Amino acid sequence: MKLGVVGKGGVGKTTVSALLGRAFAARGRRVLAVDTDSNPNLGVSLGLDQWRTDAMSVLPRSLIVGAAGSASAADVVRDYGVETPTGVTLLSAIKVTEAGAGCTCAGHASVRSLLGEVMAEQADVTLVDMEAGLEHLSRSGGTLAYADVLLVVMEPSRKSVITAARTQALAAELGIPLVFGVGNKARGDDEAFFTALCGEFDVPLLGVLPYDDAVPAADRAGTALGEVPAAVDALVDALESRTAIAG
Ligand SMILES: Nc1ncnc2c1ncn2[C@@H]1O[C@H](COP(=O)(O)OP(=O)(O)OP(=O)(O)O)[C@@H](O)[C@H]1O
Ligand SMILES: [Mg+2]
């Protein structure tokens, strides 16, 4: 399964990507997580320290993976994958280290090419943590064109649900088969809010994760969350049953 995690800025894409990756890994799945944020943070959420995250080798730009290209998916994972303490293998796809160095399109093309490959030998689940916004769906070819499922993370705000509805329309144009909304940071009656608004905008709601004080605490400490919350496991159950990939 190839999963893209998308949504508005700051809604929790990186947090949800890391927790889903860890939950899949705890079930014995081989998980490859790809950080495509030009300001990468996924490593720390997967248990690497900041130094190790910053020192990661970034995928070559404009990599062509597969029969016609210079590398196989196995080469990419072997040469660039980093094992994290949480059991997830991490790839760093894009990093901006130099001011004025140009756009990140070539890095996105590498991710697109990798996702276009059959990766059954390398991973059961490939999870791509995206930068905020919708550009990854509009840029030439679409970074996530070969994803099987998009998860649009939402805060309890109307704007983030509307982002999910817009994402759904663009994903349909790219031919991405499944798009689900995932509510995050829910308190009080936020779950009812997500259910109502997703109904109004026709966004299939996969599940809702509660607001958890441990998440900002881990963020401030620069560590991964101690344990994967039960609600994340429920999300994996829902994903497996709704994509019929269980087992
Ligand atoms: N379930 C949660 N409970 C409490 N706080 C959360 C939760 N999920 C995320 N946060 C907090 O929200 C902030 C943004 O989280 P995160 O970095 O995962 O979002 P993002 O969507 O990846 O952001 P960006 O758009 O910058 O990539 C962080 O401060 C994080 O601690
Ligand atoms: Mg992020």
Q: Under CATH, which number does the domain 2-243 receive?
A: 3.40.50.300
For 184, phi then psi, to 5°, come to -135, 160
Return the pLDDT at 148: 92
- The tens digit of pLDDT for each residue in 126-184 reads 999 998 867 667 655 678 888 899 999 999 999 999 999 999 988 988 888 899 999 99
Amino acid identity at 48: L
Neighbouring CB atoms inside 10 A of 244's CB total 7
Q: Which residue is closest in CA terms to ligand 1's atom 7?
A: 185
Atom of ligand 1 nearest to the CA of 210: 1
Atom of ligand 1 nearest to the CA of 17: 18
Report the run of H or E that residue 214 belongs to, with start and end.
Answer: helix 214-221
The two structure tokens encoding residue 177: 């088969």
Percent of the chain with pLDDT over 90: 66
Dist. CA 34–CA 89, nearest whole Å: 9
Find the helix packing angle between 13-26 and 230-243, rounded to 10°.
80
Amino acid identity at 96: V
**Binding-site residues, ligand 1, Cβ < 6 A:** 7, 9-15, 37, 132, 184-185, 209, 211-212, 215-216, 219
Return the pLDDT at 247: 40
- The tens digit of pLDDT for each residue in 218-233 reads 999 999 999 999 999 9
Atom of ligand 1 nearest to the CA of 10: 23
Return the pLDDT at 119: 82
For 61, phi then psi, to 5°, come to -75, 145
Q: Which residue is closest in CA terms to ligand 1's atom 28?
A: 216
Q: Which residue is closest in CA terms to ligand 1's atom 12?
A: 12
Residue bearing tokens 């399109």: 105
Q: Which residue is closest in CA terms to ligand 1's atom 13?
A: 10
Over residues 62-68, the mean pLDDT reads 75
Cα–Cα nearest to 32, from 74, 70, 72, 69 = 74
The two structure tokens encoding residue 171: 């994903």
Give the domain ranges of the chain: 2-243
Q: Give the Å distance between the CA of 69 and the centre of ligand 1.
A: 36
Dist. CA 90–CA 125, nearest whole Å: 12
Over residues 47-66, the mean pLDDT reads 87
